[in-house]
């Protein structure tokens, strides 16, 4: 017997199989994109901390910097780092690609007794504060 074409059962089975493959692919791609955004956020936070460390290193002998120190701790906003060319350009939220105002990113810096960099924590905004390192 010479048949041409597909039966309805074969067509339905093929469409169902393609649907399952598409669903699995969509979930995988969504997870990969989310992981990429978290990695971008971590990189951004690390860049800000590195720039802060460089800023402290360059300014620790500056008398106006020393006056800012309160209990071995200072607060710096990112606009200071951008103005000093420790960071380039705008800070972009990696989750929605909106520009975060540099003056709204507050960094609490802990210093050693000799005014060298000890650690930095981003206090605001929440999107950068909640990045997992």
Residues 18, 38: Cα–Cα separation, whole Å: 30
Listed residue (112, 108, 107, 106) closest to 72, CA to CA:
112
Under 8 Å between Cβ of 48 and 81: yes
Residue with tokens 């989750």: 95
Give the residues across from 77 on adjacent strands: 106
- pLDDT for 23 equals 94
Under 8 Å between Cβ of 52 and 120: yes
pLDDT tens, the chain, 133 aa long: 556 778 899 999 999 999 999 999 999 999 999 999 999 999 999 999 999 999 999 988 888 887 888 888 898 889 989 999 999 888 888 888 899 888 888 899 999 988 899 999 988 788 887 775 4
The number of helix segments (H) and strand segments (E) in the chain equals 4, 5
* Cβ-Cβ contacts under 8 Å for 109 (sequence gap 6 or more): 52, 56, 73, 74, 75, 76, 117, 118, 119, 120
Domain ranges within the chain, ordered by starting residue = 8-129
- pLDDT for 2 equals 59
- pLDDT for 132 equals 58
């Amino acid at each position: 017997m010479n048949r041409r074409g597909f039966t309805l059962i074969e067509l339905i089975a093929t469409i169902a199989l393609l649907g399952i493959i598409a669903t699995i692919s969509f979930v995988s791609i969504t997870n990969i994109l989310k992981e990429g955004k978290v990695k971008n956020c971590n990189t951004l936070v690390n860049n800000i901390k590195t720039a802060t460390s460089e800023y402290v290193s360059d300014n620790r002998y500056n008398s106006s910097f020393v006056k800012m120190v309160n209990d071995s701790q200072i607060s710096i906003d990112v606009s200071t780092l951008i103005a000093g060319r420790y960071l380039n350009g705008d800070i972009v939220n990696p989750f929605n690609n909106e520009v975060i105002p540099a003056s709204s990113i507050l960094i609490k810096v802990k210093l050693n007794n000799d005014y060298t960099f000890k650690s930095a924590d981003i206090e605001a905004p929440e999107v950068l504060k909640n990045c997992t390192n």
